[in-house]
Amino acid sequence: MSKRTIFTTITALPAGITRDTVLETLHNHTEMIDLNPLVIERHPIKAPRKATPEEYHSIWYHVVDKINYFPGYQGRTEFDVCFHDLKIGLQTHVYAPLGLDIKDKWTLGGTLPHEPKEPVEMGIGVPKEGLWLREDVDMKCNIIATSFVKRTLKKAHATLVERLVEKAHLVETNLHNNRLEEQSSVLSYYSDPKSSGLASPVVSPDFVPQDSQDPIAYPNHMSAYQKLDHSGSNGTPPYPYSPPLPTKSRYSQPPPDPRHSQPLEDPRYPHPRHSQPLADPRYSHPRYSQQPPQGQAPRHSYQTQAHPPELAPPEPRLAELDSSPALPGPRGH
């Protein structure tokens, strides 16, 4: 006569263990078998004839356990077990001798500090913070051996969970150390110019940007032209600083030195010493005078402009010279 027994075990996982690490272990079937302290042998098999249609395509193993029935008396138990992966856990089904049937379901739950909290189930001792591992067991066994099987199963699975947690700690430690090594290698690669083949990014304290010649921002890096004494002849003090020089370009000529350059003359406003108007090229023939014929304006009127009236010398008028009376001279004899 068999008896059905259902019980649930909740194990709180310590901080520092991620969900991916625990799920990776649960989905590794051979590792889950090896973490059980009762297992001494295992090998994969095909689905037996007693497998249900849902379990036929699952992964099957033949497992051998070593069990202590009485103090000083040990025995071997062989059984078949199937594994079915879930999104958040694992399902197993054990077909053991003497009508022992064990359905086990492992579920990973809980929330991490950076995740939103969810309502927890009441009455089974689920932690309100952190991750936890839940085991739901549905067992059918002979009524005489039920208590022994339940006690042995709980003890073995408790050791399995402890080993799983320790293994998760090791995995997280290795991942953390690998991340630190990668970060240090990247920093050393960019900080060492020999290994990276790049110039050192360290800037010299005497460095001045090429496009910046401002003596206020860089008073110790003035150009030779800016260091010249620009004091006037009347003894005025020099300028505190010279205006910045334009940036050199291959499309522009260097600026002339203001000490030696002459002011450019605008043809519209000739220099005072050039009082003679420019000649019109149309009337450059010798038979024409320097001025265009009377009544005809020059071709380029702007070239015949003279100085302002108050500065230009008065020009004699030919009409007045012709009409002026003759000066008295010596009378002839």
Residue-by-residue pLDDT tens, the chain, 333 positions = 789 999 999 999 988 888 999 999 999 999 999 999 999 999 999 999 999 999 999 999 999 999 988 777 889 999 999 999 999 999 999 999 988 999 999 999 998 888 888 888 888 889 888 999 999 999 999 999 999 999 999 999 999 999 999 999 898 888 888 888 888 877 776 676 565 555 555 555 555 555 444 555 445 545 444 444 444 444 455 545 555 555 555 555 666 666 655 555 566 655 555 555 555 556 555 555 555 556 555 555 444 455 555 555 566 555 554 555 555 555 544
pTM for the whole structure: 0.55
The tokens for 117 are: 């909290």
User: Residue length, the chain?
Assistant: 333
Q: Distance between CA 67 and CA 162 in Å, rounded?
A: 20
Positive or negative: CA dihedral 72, 75, 145, 156: positive
Q: Which residues pair with 139 in a beta bridge?
A: 5, 102
| pLDDT in the model for residue 317 | 58
Helices 146-191 and 19-26, packing angle to 10 deg? 130
The span from the first CA to the last CA of the chain, in angstroms, equals 186
DSSP 212: -
Q: Is 62 exposed, middle or buried (0-12, 13-18, 19+ CB in 10 A)?
A: middle
| pLDDT in the model for residue 261 | 55
| pLDDT in the model for residue 230 | 46
Q: Are 87 and 70 in contact (CB under 8 A)?
A: no
